[in-house]
Chains A and B, each alone.
Chain A
């Protein structure tokens, strides 16, 4: 970027920052108190943690679409990547990293399971658990134990889309309760756990996929990958 353009962007950023500061300092008190509404309806949500209640129940529809956004991000990368070009086998990592990965990954999977379970009553849930799973997969790849992906095969695609499909199916079936995603009170907790479990797996695969698709460097000897990847 040249001088004047830089100056203009900088000026715009400073002006926006100033306006934001002025607006925030002059913040009127909100007319609607959603925290109160969340607290009042928490007992009817099927979970005890307000964030999970908002994400999976009160505004679960937003989350459903957000999962589709993540799936699309991966799909976009696959659309750009050229599957016909070969990929590199994972670089021979140093033994320290291999050993470390061997110890850390089982612990990370355990941590993901805990985060998923904890989401019902304290901070945690599918997003965090999925992220930890993805981090485990990335670590495995860096340690040379997990190959990069060329284009995902059928089983892997099922894993990638599975969480979203479970969520979508539950949303649609609950239409018989009178509205999209309207949980019956007695089954809300179980259904949310089911959705979150599916999401944890799929989010882990999707987030790891963003990395593993990118890691598939073309112009190297080809290898078969995809199916073996686990998490």
Chain B
């Protein structure tokens, strides 16, 4: 009994829910220390779960003891455990960062909202049920919208409202798809649906899959649904932007991937080329906008639009046991760490200079060198230089594309890398200029600089631990 009670899998959901509600009860912006302690435990739980999955294979947890299709099953396989590890690994340093950040900037609801956000992410990555996925997605979106609105400035409220409307419409589309699937098959369990959806499914299944895909793409902000992302991510408080760009948009991508590999595999090929083309457009358009903006956080936000594009390049290349899947997951992990680092660094730069424009950065290199180094390191991952995780992801993608003779993707990947180099160096060049005589710099807590650095270093070094990641990714449910 004690063994069942201490199972890490359900606690990864229960624990963040608990500390989120406690932080809400305390109120007045308190709960930071509790969050950091709980996140350390969550990281340990995710590591234990990863070790268990690696040793004993994928695990199923039947909530309520009923088992699908009557009850809801939670599933921890290699893919979900990797996403769980990413979530806790990004969230813990960001929580430390946020605690320092919010000693500079007032807030009242950051910790409860973040707790619910992380609980939603963990629940989403562990879910094996179409409707339960919808519920976790709702929880995630509402927490994210609340976080965007946190500052209470009119621009933030406007961005949050736009995000909310897109998000609700997208949820509605996804939910309609789920309802159609339930009507057609009588179950919403992923494992239960997989054998029922054959190679030539009826119209209702195609329509449902289309609706669900459209909803998820809007939530992932894939071009042309990207319009809500830059104001929401660029306008939010720095720790919020980091959480949103690193983790939240990955959740809906994970769902697309999970469904395309699982029950909707027979339909995945139909959308593959479209997803690839949209991804390629996102890379080029997002990078171009990042290059031409004058606001530092908008630059980082547009870079997110571009980097999300790489995730969807994998779909035309997806083959069982192929490298494209590894490339996609590696890109999600590397970009998650790098983008968290970049937004964290951007937050430090803005606090230090008191301005949000690139012009204002002149001379900042001498004041916060660690932060600038972190920004550069994260940039190395985004550009895809060795030995970073970003390099590995792009390398695997190029290999998969060449092996299948689909060379146009290679051109896009290389162009995207060059554009990323251009916008990262634009920031660095500005920072190394001499400070104008009138410039005034505010001191920034050191811990913020070092957490940004830690995340950036992890995004580069993760490339060296790729073998374990690939091995873990290979753990699937025994058929």
- Nearest A residue to B10 via CB reads A180
- Nearest B residue to A77 via CB reads B146
A179 contacts B185, C-beta separation under 8 Å? no
Residue B265, interface by CB 8 Å: no
Query: Which A residues are CB-close (under 8 A) to B146?
Result: 72, 75-76, 79
- Nearest A residue to B206 via CB reads A23
Q: Which of A162-197 contact B (CB under 8 A)?
A: 164-165, 168, 171-172, 175-183
Tell me the count of chain A residues lying within 8 A, CB to CB, of chain B.
56
A24 contacts B63, C-beta separation under 8 Å? no
Residue A32, interface by CB 8 Å: yes
Residue B150, interface by CB 8 Å: yes
- B-contact bits for A19-43, CB 8 A (1 contact / 0 none): 1101110111011111001100100
B25 contacts A157, C-beta separation under 8 Å? yes
Contact stretch, chosen from B67-75, B281-289, B433-441, B446-454: B67-75
Residue B403, interface by CB 8 Å: no
A38 to B186, CA, bound (A): 12
- A-contact bits for B168-186, CB 8 A (1 contact / 0 none): 0000000000001001111
Residue B478, interface by CB 8 Å: no
Residue A73, interface by CB 8 Å: yes
Query: Which B residues are CB-close (under 8 A) to A92?
Result: none
Q: Which of B142-189 contact A (CB under 8 A)?
A: 142-143, 145-147, 149-150, 152, 157, 160, 180, 183-187
Residue B476, interface by CB 8 Å: no
Query: Which B residues are CB-close (under 8 A) to A179?
Result: 4, 10, 61-65
A182 to B10, CA, bound (A): 12
B7 contacts A175, C-beta separation under 8 Å? yes
Residue A108, interface by CB 8 Å: no
Residue B48, interface by CB 8 Å: no
A206 to B119, CA, bound (A): 20
Residue A52, interface by CB 8 Å: no
Q: Which of B103-135 contact A (CB under 8 A)?
A: 108-109, 112-113, 116, 119-120, 123, 131-132, 135
Specify which of B17, B27, B132, B147 is in contact with A168 (CB 8 Å cutoff). B17
Known: A23-B203, A65-B123. A175 touches B66 (CB 8 A): no
A76 to B69, CA, bound (A): 34
Known: A62-B131, A175-B4, A175-B5. A28 touches B204 (CB 8 A): yes
Contact stretch, chosen from A53-61, A98-106, A111-119, A124-132: A53-61
Query: Which A residues are CB-close (under 8 A) to B157?
Result: 80
Residue B409, interface by CB 8 Å: no
Of the candidates B69, B139, B186, the one having the most CB atoms from chain A within 10 angstroms of its own CB is B186
- Nearest A residue to B67 via CB reads A179
A24 to B203, CA, bound (A): 9
Known: A27-B183, A79-B149, A180-B61. A175 touches B10 (CB 8 A): yes
Residue B136, interface by CB 8 Å: yes
B70 contacts A37, C-beta separation under 8 Å? yes
Query: Which A residues are CB-close (under 8 A) to B183?
Result: 24, 27, 30
A165 to B62, CA, bound (A): 22
Known: A26-B203, A58-B70, A72-B139. A157 touches B64 (CB 8 A): no
Query: Which B residues are CB-close (under 8 A) to A57?
Result: 64
Shortest distance from the beta carbon of B173 to any chain A beta carbon, whole Å: 9
A180 contacts B64, C-beta separation under 8 Å? yes
Specify which of A28, A37, A38 is in contact with B202 (CB 8 Å cutoff). A28
A177 to B202, CA, bound (A): 42
A79 contacts B17, C-beta separation under 8 Å? no
Specify which of A154, A164, A177, A181 is in contact with B27 (CB 8 Å cutoff). A154
A38 to B106, CA, bound (A): 50
A83 to B109, CA, bound (A): 12
Shortest distance from the beta carbon of B244 to any chain A beta carbon, whole Å: 14
A75 contacts B113, C-beta separation under 8 Å? yes
Known: A22-B203, A31-B196, A32-B186. A72 touches B4 (CB 8 A): no
Query: Which B residues are CB-close (under 8 A) to A30?
Result: 183-187
A132 to B53, CA, bound (A): 47
Specify which of B18, B25, B70, B204 is in contact with A26 (CB 8 Å cutoff). B204
- Nearest A residue to B14 via CB reads A172
Residue A66, interface by CB 8 Å: yes
A32 contacts B69, C-beta separation under 8 Å? yes
Shortest distance from the beta carbon of B176 to any chain A beta carbon, whole Å: 8
Specify which of B2, B63, B131 is in contact with A181 (CB 8 Å cutoff). B63
A79 contacts B152, C-beta separation under 8 Å? yes
A66 to B152, CA, bound (A): 26
Query: Which B residues are CB-close (under 8 A) to A20?
Result: 180, 207
Query: Which B residues are CB-close (under 8 A) to A51?
Result: none
Shortest distance from the beta carbon of A72 to any chain B beta carbon, whole Å: 4
Query: Which A residues are CB-close (under 8 A) to B66?
Result: 41, 58
B135 contacts A66, C-beta separation under 8 Å? yes
- Nearest A residue to B66 via CB reads A58
B62 contacts A79, C-beta separation under 8 Å? no
Query: Which B residues are CB-close (under 8 A) to A73?
Result: 142
B72 contacts A59, C-beta separation under 8 Å? yes
B25 contacts A80, C-beta separation under 8 Å? no
- Besides the known contacts A20-B207, A79-B108, A79-B150, 11 further A-B residue pairs in the complex with CB atoms under 8 A apart: A22-B203, A31-B196, A32-B196, A34-B186, A58-B66, A76-B149, A79-B146, A82-B152, A154-B27, A175-B4, A176-B5
Can you list 30 A-B contacts (CB < 8 A)? A24-B183, A24-B204, A26-B203, A30-B183, A30-B186, A30-B187, A31-B185, A33-B186, A34-B69, A37-B70, A58-B71, A59-B132, A60-B64, A61-B63, A62-B131, A66-B138, A72-B142, A75-B24, A75-B146, A79-B108, A79-B147, A80-B157, A80-B160, A157-B27, A161-B21, A168-B14, A175-B4, A175-B7, A179-B62, A180-B61
User: Considering the complex of A and B, which 3 residue pairs feature the smallest CB-CB distances, nearest first?
Assistant: A30-B186, A76-B146, A32-B186
